[in-house]
Amino acid sequence: VTDGRATGGPEPVALASRAARLFAADGVASVVVDCESGPVRLGLAGRLAGELGGSAVTLDELRADSIAGLVKDVQRRAA
The answer to whether position 2 is within a domain reads: no
Handedness of CA 43, 44, 49, 50 (dihedral sign): positive
Tell me, yes or no, whether 4 lies in a domain: no
pLDDT digits (tens, 9 = 90+) for 17-37: 999 999 999 998 888 888 887
Residue type, 79: A
29: in domain:
yes
| Residue 6 domain flag | no
Q: Is residue 3 part of a domain?
A: no
Residues 35-59 have pLDDT tens digits of 887 888 888 889 999 999 988 888 8
Is the separation of the CB atoms in 32 and 58 below 8 Å?
A: no
Domain count, the chain: 1
Please check whether residue 52 lies inside any domain of the structure: yes
Domain that holds residue 22: 12-78
In a domain, 27, yes or no: yes
The one-character DSSP state at 58 is E
